[in-house]
Structure formats: structure tokens, C-alpha cells
Amino acid sequence: MGAARAGIEIVTGDITRLSVDVIVNAANERMLGGGGVDGAIHAAAGKELLAACRDVAELRAGVRCPTGEARLTPAFGLPAKWVVHTVGPIWHGGGRGEPKLLASCYRQSLQLALGQGAKSIAFPAISTGVYSYPPSLASTIAVRECDGFLADNPSFEKILLVAFRQQAADILRQALGALGTKQ
Ligand code: AR6
């Protein structure tokens, strides 16, 4: 449903079905799949995605992508062209740098997409599932970072913020509305 701000759109449903240049995966540091949206993306993309993830260099044992960073792979069987894998912070109450790390996920993902010449990207609600980040706080960060990116990169066409459930969409819409009133 409708865009509250040009360039940012909130949609409800399964991110793996979207025909955008880039979809973002809420991965973990190992980058070898998991549950939630990570499991759905790997299942829909096929086994080649796992092989591509395995090929990403390990920085240290078991860490291909540290929390707050992002890595790019092709999207294989998905309608998208690329997958950006980013690792959101696990929520520990907010005092362990979670807001900065989550903002960094959005920023790095958007920069990687830009570097590929992408014009459209879809994000799931990073960290708000297994990693327990409060959805309203996470949504505020998501819309702020996306809005800032679009202000800096006006030729980028579309950022979809994908809510898996209606309640998450309502929370995102509220955050987008609040952003509008601050400017
Ligand atoms: N499309 C869009 N959103 C989805 C989908 C989907 N197909 N499936 C789930 N979501 P989570 P996290 C939503 O747990 O909190 C994994 O095991 C979901 O409702 O997927 O960052 C990884 O391997 C929620 O709002 O990611 C990591 O170990 C959002 O996606 C860990 O979970 C994120 O939930 C990462 O946890």
C-alpha cells in the first residue's frame, strides 16, 4: 500500500517474491542460512546461494559478516538480481550499541546496492524477529536511514520496507509519518 514519502514504500508480504534489484537478508555472522527471512531467502534462491555465501571470506572462525556490516551475493533463483546479507544486532536492552549497529546495517546495505548500480531495494525488518529488537524503535531507525540515503542519492528510485505481518506494517507507517512531521 501507498507511499507516505516519495521513494520509500511500505509493503506487506514475503520479500522473496519482490522484483527489485536488491533484496536484503537479515542474516547471522556465519552467513550460512538460518530461520526467519534468512531461511525463506535461501529456500527460494536455491542451493547456489548457500555456495556463494560459503565463498565469502571468513574474517575469523565462523564470521563472514560482522554485526552491523553487509555482504553482497547474486540472487540466483529469486526475482531480484542481488542479495545483500546484513547482520543486525541482537537486542540486549539498547545499551550495547544496538541503534548504531542497526543504522549501520541499513547504510551499508544501501551503499552496496548503490555500488552495483541498483535503483531499487527491499528490506525486511532487520533484527525484529529472532533478534528481538523492539519493532517501533527499529522502524524509526529504518525510515531515518532510508530517508537520509534518498536525500543524498536522488537518482535511487525505490526503497521498499517489507512487513511480514500487518502489525509490523502499521508500526513502519507510524515511523514514516513521524519522520515527515520532523521536517
Ligand atoms: N519476508 C519478509 N519478512 C519476513 C519473512 C519473509 N519471508 N520471514 C520473516 N520475516 P528474523 P532477525 C520477518 O527472525 O531478527 C535468522 O535465523 C519477521 O517477521 O528473520 O534479524 C538468521 O539466520 C521479522 O519481522 O531476523 C539469524 O540467525 C523480520 O523478518 C537471525 O534469524 C526479521 O526476523 C536474525 O534475526
32 lines ligand 1 (CB under 6 A): no
pLDDT of residue 182: 52
pLDDT of residue 179: 85
Active site residues: 38
40 lines ligand 1 (CB under 6 A): yes
56 lines ligand 1 (CB under 6 A): no
| Residues whose CB is less than 8 angstroms from the CB of residue 148 and which lie 6 or more positions away in sequence, other chains included | none
pLDDT of residue 5: 61
Give the residue-averaged pLDDT of 135-164: 97
Query: By CB neighbour count within 10 A (0-12 exposed, 13-18 middle, 19+ buried), where does 36 fall?
Result: middle
Cα 38 to ligand 1 centre (Å): 6
CATH domain 8-182 topology: Leucine Aminopeptidase, subunit E; domain 1 (3.40.220)
Percentage of the chain lying above the pLDDT 70 cut:
95
Pocket test for ligand 1, best of 164, 166, 170, 171 (most atoms within 8 A of CB): 164
99 lines ligand 1 (CB under 6 A): no
pLDDT of residue 1: 38
Give the residue-averaged pLDDT of 105-132: 98
Which atom of ligand 1 lies at the shortest distance from residue 131's CA? Answer: 15
Give the residue-averaged pLDDT of 24-36: 98
Query: 6 pLDDT exceeds 50?
Result: yes
Query: Which residue is listed with cell 536522488?
Result: 154
Query: 131 pLDDT exceeds 60?
Result: yes
Q: Give the DSSP H or E segment for 171.
A: helix 166-181
- Around Cβ 54, how many Cβ atoms within 10 Å? 12
Query: 130 pLDDT exceeds 90?
Result: yes
Query: 45 pLDDT exceeds 60?
Result: yes
Mean pLDDT for the chain? 95
